Amino acid sequence: MNPLTGEKKWEIPLTDLPSSSGMLATGGGLLFTGKLTGEFVALDEDTGKTLWQFQTGSSINSTAITYTHKGRQYVTIASGLGGTLATRYAAGKMPTGGSVWTFALMPQ
| Domains of the chain and CATH, by start | 24-104 (2.40.10)
- Return d(Cα 54, Cα 101) in angstroms, integer: 10
- Return d(Cα 26, Cα 24) in angstroms, integer: 7
The pLDDT profile of the chain, 108 residues, written as one tens digit per residue, is 888 999 998 887 766 655 668 899 999 999 999 988 889 999 999 999 999 999 998 888 889 999 999 999 999 999 887 666 666 666 666 667 788 999 999 876
Q: What is the pTM (predicted TM-score) of this model?
A: 0.81
pLDDT at residue 44, as a whole number: 95
